[in-house]
């Protein structure tokens, strides 16, 4: 932590400041878990320069290291650079989600899409998702992420890294494109062990009344073999509760 520098900028300092800001922008654009190597490549900066800037930003708490991902995410002080855009769902919306939890034995999660990323705003406390940062960073591998990608004019601009997590992860762009087309047509996303081999998920969109804009996603998480089944009754319950959430979240 340091205070404001009382000395005027001189020499190479303005260029260094611009580079540091570019690193911050790249972490925001790439999402949590982006690595130094990825930042260096995206900004065309020498790796040594990138590491120095990252160390500086971590030291000033604008960035943090993610030990599980071996990458970086925004830190505590970065939150002061912009107004918060993800808010806690209203009580009425949380009551709808809780009602669904009382009807099923699977985990029930509510995610917001208002930031352009998957933000879990009401994860199931009895079945907590173990990978919220991965879900946000790699939307191609989760059912909630597939909802977000299927709603984009060009999903490739949102999901640049089709990383494989299990043997079931869809990493082929053509195959994923076909899958997202089906999600857009049916309003139902499904993943069976793509992020973790022991976890699957069904998800439906929550759209604003009148506008039809995608604002959130409601998901059921369970065993992959059960998720792969038609689950017509569960899907009907999901859709019913998503419709009830629509006027509460839009």
CATH number at residue 110: 3.30.450.40
CA distance 112 to 220: 15
The pLDDT score that the predictor gives to residue 4 is 45
* Tokens of residue 84, six digits: 């918060």
Q: Are residues 226 and 206 in the same domain?
A: yes
One domain, residues 159 and 213: yes
**How high is the pLDDT of residue 10?**
62
Q: Are residues 111 and 19 in the same domain?
A: no
Start-end of H helices in the chain: 13-30, 36-43, 47-59, 91-101, 132-137, 143-150, 173-186, 224-227, 232-249
* Whether 102 contacts 217, CB under 8 Å: no
pLDDT tier, 11 (very low <50, low <70, confident <90, very high otherwise): low
Residues 110 and 225 in one domain: yes
Mean pLDDT of 24-51: 90
Tokens 């047509």 identify what position? 185
Give the pLDDT confidence of 185-219 residue by residue, as tens digits: 999 999 999 999 999 999 999 999 988 999 999 99
This prediction's pTM:
0.71
Looking at the structure, do residues 170 and 75 belong to the same domain, yes or no?
no
Residue 49: give its domain's CATH number: 1.10.10.10
Mean pLDDT for the stretch of residues 166-187:
97
Examine residue 241 and state whether it is found in any structural domain, yes or no: yes
Question: Residue 235: pLDDT above 50?
Answer: yes
Residues 99 and 216 in one domain: yes
Query: What distance in Å separates the CA atoms of residue 141 and residue 156, rounded to the nearest whole number?
Result: 14
Locus of tokens 């709603």: 151
Quote the pLDDT of residue 179. 97
63 in the same domain as 120: no
Are 117 and 215 within one domain?
Answer: yes
* Tens digit of each residue's pLDDT (9 = 90 or more) over 45-85: 999 999 999 999 999 889 988 876 678 988 878 866 765 56
Q: Over pLDDT 70: what percentage of the chain?
A: 92
**Pair (52, 146) in one structural domain:** no
Structure tokens at 21: 């800001």
Give residue 222's domain range: 91-246
Q: How many domains does the chain have?
A: 2
**199 and 193 Cβ atoms separated by less than 8 Å:** yes
Q: Please indicate, yes or no, whether residues 43 and 132 belong to a single structural domain of this protein.
A: no
Same domain? 160 vs 127: yes
Of 7-11, 118-122, 158-162, 241-245, where does mean pLDDT reach its minimum?
7-11
Residues 203 and 125 in one domain: yes
CB 72 within 8 A of CB 63: yes
Chain segment 107-161, per-residue pLDDT in tens: 999 999 987 889 999 999 999 887 888 898 899 999 999 999 999 988 988 888 8
Across the chain, what does the average pLDDT equal?
A: 89
Report which of 148, 216, 231 is spatially closest to residue 183, judged by C-alpha positions. Answer: 148
Q: How far apart are CA 62 and CA 242, in angstroms?
A: 36
Of all residues in the chain, the percent with pLDDT exceeding 90 is: 66
| pLDDT of res. 79 | 66
| In-domain check, residue 133 | yes
| 119 beta partners | 112
Give the whole-angstrom CA distance, residue 242 versus residue 106: 16
């Amino acid at each position: 932590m340091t205070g404001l520098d009382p000395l005027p900028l001189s020499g190479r300092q303005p260029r260094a400041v611009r580079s540091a800001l570019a690193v911050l922008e790249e972490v925001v654009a790439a999402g949590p878990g982006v690595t130094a190597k990825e930042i260096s490549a995206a900004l065309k900066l020498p790796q040594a320069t990138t590491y120095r800037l990252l160390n500086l930003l971590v030291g000033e708490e604008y960035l943090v290291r993610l030990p599980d991902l071996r990458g970086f995410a925004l830190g505590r002080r970065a939150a002061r650079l912009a107004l918060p855009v993800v808010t806690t769902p209203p009580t009425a919306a949380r009551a709808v989600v809780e009602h669904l939890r009382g009807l099923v034995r699977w985990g029930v999660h509510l995610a917001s899409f208002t930031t352009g990323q998957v933000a879990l705003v009401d994860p199931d406390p009895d079945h907590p998702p173990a990978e919220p940062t991965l879900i946000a960073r790699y939307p191609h591998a989760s059912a909630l992420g597939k909802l977000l990608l299927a709603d984009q004019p060009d999903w490739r601009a949102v999901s640049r890294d089709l990383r494989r997590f299990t043997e079931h992860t869809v990493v082929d762009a053509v195959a994923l494109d076909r899958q997202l087309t089906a999600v857009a047509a049916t309003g139902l996303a499904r993943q069976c062990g793509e992020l973790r081999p022991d976890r699957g998920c069904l998800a439906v969109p929550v759209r604003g009344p009148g506008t039809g804009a995608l604002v959130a996603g409601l998901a059921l998480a369970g065993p992959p073999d059960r998720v792969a089944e038609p689950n017509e009754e569960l899907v009907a319950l999901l859709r019913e509760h998503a419709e009830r959430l629509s006027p509460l979240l839009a």
